Amino acid sequence: MTVLSLRPERLLLGAVVAASLLASADASAGPGADEAYDSASRVISDAQKDIPSIQAAVAAGRTTDRGASQRVAEGDLALRNRDYDRAAVIFNEVIEKYSAHPTAHAEALHLLGETYYRSQQLLSARRVYLQVVDSSGSDRLAPYAANALARLVDIAMRTRDLKSLDDIFARMSKVPSASVESILAYARGRGLVARKDFEVARIALQGVPAASPYHHQARYLLGVIATKEAQAAAADAAKADADPSKPAGAKPDSAAEMASTRGRYAKAVESFREVTRLSPDTPEHRHVIDLAWMAIGRLFYETDQWHASAEAYNHVDRNSPEFGKMLYELASVYVRLGDVQRAQRALEVLSIADPDSSDIAEGNLLRGDLLLRTGQFKKSLETYEGVRKQYDPMRVKVDSFLGATNDPAVYYDRLSREQLDIGNTDAQLPPLAVQWAREAEDGPEAFAVLDEVVKTRALIKQAQALVEKLG
């Protein structure tokens, strides 16, 4: 490698110097100058003959290494800038063109999966991550296996394909234990929580070390498990003390029953409090801490501890992704406390801070109700009329869309076309309605398939445009 890094001009200079030394040595020994000159000429001539082969070797080495590495760097930059289409094109090019490269091929395959994942192409991401895992026996892809398996767990949860978790867990057992102790322990715990296997999930999550970047998330899930177990215990107690005259799901109607309910949730509250004591050292960890405060606020709300609930909600930072949802829930707490002014103020801030929130509609209705309670009839009427004016046209569009046919395939085709032409002002479905549908219980699973179809159609259009240009 040292020889290849030398410039040919330097090799030629070295040959000339060597020839000069030889000539001076020969002169001191006594032979004539002509013989020394001939000897030096031969050395220089031999060096010149080697220059083209050296240049070719240097160029080939530089082209292969720098070309692949540079393309991966370009793709990574596009990924960081959320230019997912360009990133996918670059990574696919590297995968196809440099399949024998010692590092670039594996890195490009890993980043291609990440590109599909971040662009919500979950099925494509799953295909790439499975390829990474299946090839992880090679030294090139082994470092990416743990991350790929963690992503596969997340994709299975987001697409509601929990049956595939058995296969993913089996693959995890083949990964070295050092990786399992960090990334995969958390991923396994998440999958087990989704399958409601809480006992095994608790063991897996407790195995996530404090130094792991997933420690905050693991501790939060332990709080979720405690909440689920408390809910199950409360349901069992309700069945044991069932009162036929009491409606299903009704809250405890005695101090003893409420105290018992609060006791069941005490462990969950303390689990979430442990999360809030952790260091907010990264944006992700700050978000987890905010989620823990939200969980505490909800648990206190469900057990009629209104002041404690309001205090917990007020810990959520205004820069948090949960700030809008917190304001709506905090307003509900203030309503329970009878503090109408604070409830109204929270809803007013919500309308400004998060105008696209799915809670805006309910919040506006709650504002109208609060104004009505305080005797501000004119403002209350204006609020109700504003809600009707904003959302009634959306309701008409949705009703028209659903009433056009009874064939689900037609709904699917129309919706995929509208998502492809997202800027169409004549769309049958309002964007806000589609957003709420995405956030609904079955939204992620349904739209994961839909987004794949939309992306495929967009790629076909791009390919056809390229063919026309080349023709």
Which residues contact residue 267 at a Cβ distance below 8 angstroms, ignoring those fewer than 6 apart? 226, 230
pTM of the model: 0.70
Q: Which residue has the higher pLDDT, 441 or 454?
A: 454
What is the predicted pLDDT for the residue at 352?
Answer: 86
* Best CA proximity match to 188, nearest among 206, 211, 161, 210: 206
Of the listed ranges 1-10, 206-215, 393-402, 457-466, the least confidently predicted one is 1-10
- Please state, as a whole number, how many other Cβ atoms lie within 10 Å of the Cβ of residue 9: 9
Model confidence band, residue 5 (pLDDT cutoffs 50, 70, 90):
very low
In this prediction, residues 26-40 reach a mean pLDDT of 56
What is the predicted pLDDT for the residue at 271?
Answer: 95
80, two tokens: 């960081």
In degrees and rounded to multiples of 5, residue 74 shows phi and psi of: -65, -45
What is the predicted pLDDT for the residue at 412?
Answer: 62
Q: Which residue has the higher pLDDT, 426 or 33?
A: 33
SS (H, E, C) 383-406: HHHHHHHHHHHHHHHHHHHHHCCC
Question: How many Cα atoms are found within 13 Å in the side-chain-facing hemisphere of 235?
Answer: 6
What is the predicted pLDDT for the residue at 63?
Answer: 47
Is 370 exposed, middle or buried (CB count within 10 Å of its CB: 0-12, 13-18, 19+)? buried
What is the predicted pLDDT for the residue at 447?
Answer: 67
Residues in the chain: 471
What is the predicted pLDDT for the residue at 66?
Answer: 60
What is the predicted pLDDT for the residue at 13?
Answer: 43
Statement: residue 318 has pLDDT above 60? yes
* CA distance readout (Å), 28 to 21, 25, 154, 213, 399: 11, 5, 81, 73, 107
What is the predicted pLDDT for the residue at 174?
Answer: 82
Model confidence band, residue 195 (pLDDT cutoffs 50, 70, 90):
very high
Statement: residue 182 has pLDDT above 90? no
Statement: residue 351 has pLDDT above 90? no
Model confidence band, residue 464 (pLDDT cutoffs 50, 70, 90):
confident
What is the predicted pLDDT for the residue at 4?
Answer: 40
Model confidence band, residue 26 (pLDDT cutoffs 50, 70, 90):
very low
- CA–CA gap between residue 265 and residue 280 (Å, rounded): 25
47-81 residues labelled b (16+ CB within 10 A) or e (exposed) = beeeeeebeeebeeeeeeeeebbebbebbbebbee
- CA–CA gap between residue 422 and residue 141 (Å, rounded): 38
Percentage helix, strand, coil for the chain under 3-state DSSP, each rounded to 5: 75, 0, 25
Dihedral (Cα; 409, 410, 412, 415), 10-degree rounding = 180
**What SS3 state is found at 431?**
helix
For 217-270, what is each residue's pLDDT tens digit? 999 999 999 999 998 888 877 776 665 555 555 565 566 777 777 888 999 999
For 271-301, what is each residue's pLDDT tens digit? 999 999 999 999 999 999 999 999 999 999 9
Task: Enumerate the H helices of 176-278 as residue ranges.
Answer: 177-179, 185-194, 198-206, 215-240, 255-276
Task: Name the DSSP letter for residue 251.
Answer: P
What is the predicted pLDDT for the residue at 23?
Answer: 47
In this prediction, residues 150-177 reach a mean pLDDT of 89
Statement: residue 36 has pLDDT above 50? yes
Statement: residue 37 has pLDDT above 80? no
Statement: residue 460 has pLDDT above 80? no
- Please state, as a whole number, how many other Cβ atoms lie within 10 Å of the Cβ of residue 454: 21
What is the predicted pLDDT for the residue at 287?
Answer: 96
Rounded to the nearest integer, the mean pLDDT of the chain is 80
Of the listed ranges 29-33, 212-216, 381-385, the least confidently predicted one is 29-33
In degrees and rounded to multiples of 5, residue 210 shows phi and psi of: -65, -25
- CA–CA gap between residue 278 and residue 288 (Å, rounded): 10
Model confidence band, residue 91 (pLDDT cutoffs 50, 70, 90):
very high
- Please state, as a whole number, how many other Cβ atoms lie within 10 Å of the Cβ of residue 388: 11
What is the predicted pLDDT for the residue at 411?
Answer: 63
**127 near 156, Cβ under 8 Å?**
no
In this prediction, residues 150-171 reach a mean pLDDT of 92
Q: Which residue has the higher pLDDT, 300 or 356?
A: 300
